[in-house]
Structure 1
Amino acid sequence: MSDNTQRPLVVCFGEILWDIFPTYKKIGGAPLNVAYHLHKMNIDSHIITKLGNDDGGQKILSRLKEVDACTKYIQVDPAQKTGTVFATFDDKNEASYEFLKNSAWDFIDFKQEDYDLVAQSDAFVFGTLASRTAHTRETLHKLLDAAKYKVYDVNFRPPHYDLDAVIELMHKADLLKMNKFELKEVLTHLEQPYTTEEEAIKFAQKHFNCDEIIVSKGDKGGMYLNKEMLYSFPAVDIVIRDTVGSGDSFLAGFLAAKLRGDDPIRVIKRAASLGAFVTSHTGANPEYETEDFELFYQDTIFKDELITCKNILEEAKNPVK
């Protein structure tokens, strides 16, 4: 990781788009959401993406400059439109999405300066949606060759994913993040029975030779597995405004704490708290000051004893007979 005199550097790859909600629209896209919240956590964050040379693209660039976000690695496409997604909500405030086809981020080009940036980074974050086209998928695979710590945010948006392509990317990751339903779908594709959450996450770690896995379970909390321990943690009890971007902010909180060298318990708590903080607001990237989050963290975060831990190394040495 970076030395103590420098801020950790994280590069996010993929889509930037307009989230069109029933009554308003906001800038979004999982890679942008992660980069935005990392920036709020004082992490040096950058995004590699592509916008259209249109009004929507110009407004996104202007907005990013307003919040002092880096736009150096954002490409502009004269032929394709800036991405758009239409979001709707069910009676549980869960969102569903309809994406514009052939958006600018479907055509992200490989550039040597992007490769060099990824090679310098402490973490490289990428998702599933941006690999829906061959052009951007090829660029992603080239950039992965440069990355030291690869973070794959598995995120299924039907019909915009191919499980064989997803599994190929999962084999390259150092950290996998997915929800329980995505884990089940991957195991089904691999013809592996899903018995318990614990066995499923352990199988995934072994099968993909992956150091770390996060499995989110919504209001049931989540699980985190590293090389030594399996952690189970609750959700933060808050009033939900909407769930858009909650997983992205969780990941940003996780990486910000991990890259600063926090212990796993604090990493989990910071991640869960930032995810809850964003869920208590409207939109994936609400305007806030870091101090606002810190006050929220102190007031609402769960106690350490609510995180259960299991030493998988000791369990492997002394299996139950």
Structure 2
Amino acid sequence: MRVVCAGHVNWDVTLFVDALPAPDAEARIGDRREGGGGSAANVAVALSRLGVTSGLVGAVADDRDGRNARRELREAGVDARGVRVVEGGMTAVKYLVVTPDGETCVLGTEGVNEAFSTGTVPPDYFERAEHLHLTGQDPATAAALAVRAREMGLGVSFDPGRRLAGRADDEVLALADVVFLNEREAEAIRERVPPGRVVVTKRGAGGATAETPAGRIDHPGYDVEAVDSTGAGDAFAAGFLAAILDGDGYERALAVANAFGALVAGAPGTRPPFDPADVADRCGPA
């Protein structure tokens, strides 16, 4: 196992609508899909599809959605032994409302996806891994996992996601080698990232930027007709990490990340099927 991902494991219900309704108005649902979600789970699945062995730390309930989420993880080749199964409670469900231009808004239930800790991680997880990727879980849990990973000699990356308000992530930011942000997140917390870190800013259709100790690298991205932006940022992170772990430089990593993100944004669903060769077709061979 090369990468351990830690954070939320959700069940997603995606509603494709003709428009977001105004107050007292109604929108039409054109399609409805269900499947596994959660940033940590999405990155783990994406890495596995890119040929990078991955494991997952998180929590689901012992209910239908939790069983389906774990089944999809196993089918994708993810080591899900680190996903705690909580008796009672409810697996977190996210209702994703997607407009025709691919923009997404999210309604969610909290569920049990914070019900994990360093104590629920299988003993061999960090011994077998090279890297820990953290997403938007409780900051204390994330920091404890990052400390343990550092003690074991792993690299650490962090993607805080949309849950920024009221979260004290400074310790996690200090422990991370690589920080992934979108433009809104960068505006909110960029100044809190300590010097010497690699800060990767995702700019959607505008490509991405990597600020590294050696300087700034920009990539323009790839043209894509956005269908569903859900999961595109997670695919981006997976592509970047896969390239870096394979020894590629940051310029190549940005190209792979943008290519993978574009493929996901151009198809419906959080984890649309794809051929890894499609990534190489967009950004060229290594």
Partner of 1:184: 187
Match of 1:141 among 120, 138, 143: 143
Residue 210 of structure 1: how far off its partner (Å): 4.0
SS of 1:12's equivalent?
Answer: strand
Partner of 1:86: 95
Distance in 1, Cα, partners of 2:155 & 2:165:
23
* Matched AA of 2:143: H
Identity %: 22
SS of 1:111's equivalent?
Answer: helix
Partner of 1:166: 169
Contact 2:56 2:78 in 1 (8 A): no
Distance in 2, Cα, partners of 1:263 & 1:109:
33
Rg (Cα) greater in structure? 1
Contact 2:208 2:254 in 1 (8 A): no
Assess, with a 3 A threshold, how the Cα gap between structure 1 residues 62 and 281 changes in structure 2: closer, same or farther: same
Match of 2:56 among 35, 47, 56: 47
Residue 268 of structure 1: how far off its partner (Å): 1.4
Contact 1:52 1:78 in 2 (8 A): yes
Matched, 1:152 2:161: no
Once the two structures are superposed, residues 25-71 of structure 1 have per-residue CA deviations (whole angstroms, 9 ceiling, x without a partner) of 22111111111111011111010111101111111222222233222
For structure 2, the 5+ residue unaligned runs are 16-31
Please give the TM-score of this superposition, normalised by the length of structure 2. 0.85
Count of matched residue pairs: 265
Contact 2:36 2:68 in 1 (8 A): no
**Aligned 1:63-142 pairs, distance under 5 A:** 63-90=72-99, 92-101=101-110, 103-111=111-119, 113-114=121-122, 116-128=124-136, 130-131=137-138, 137-142=139-144
Match of 1:34 among 43, 52, 57: 43
SS of 1:70's equivalent?
Answer: coil
**Aligned 1:164-313 pairs, distance under 5 A:** 165-186=168-189, 208-298=194-284
SS of 1:215's equivalent?
Answer: strand
Once the two structures are superposed, residues 66-103 of structure 1 have per-residue CA deviations (whole angstroms, 9 ceiling, x without a partner) of 233222211100022111011123464211112202x1
Contact 2:228 2:266 in 1 (8 A): yes
SS of 1:104's equivalent?
Answer: coil
Residue 277 of structure 1: how far off its partner (Å): 1.2
Distance in 2, Cα, partners of 1:77 & 1:243:
30
Decide which moves more: 51-60 or 88-97.
88-97
Assess, with a 3 A threshold, how the Cα gap between structure 1 residues 279 and 70 changes in structure 2: closer, same or farther: same
Once the two structures are superposed, residues 163-202 of structure 1 have per-residue CA deviations (whole angstroms, 9 ceiling, x without a partner) of 4x12332222111110111111225xxxxxxxxxxxxxxx
Partner of 1:11: 4
Residue 112 of structure 1: how far off its partner (Å): 6.6
* Matched AA of 1:107: A
Please give the TM-score of this superposition, normalised by the length of structure 1. 0.76
**If each structure's helix is expressed as a fraction of its own residues, which one has the higher value?**
1
* Matched AA of 1:19: D
* Matched AA of 1:12: C
Contact 2:142 2:172 in 1 (8 A): no
Distance in 2, Cα, partners of 1:233 & 1:294:
16
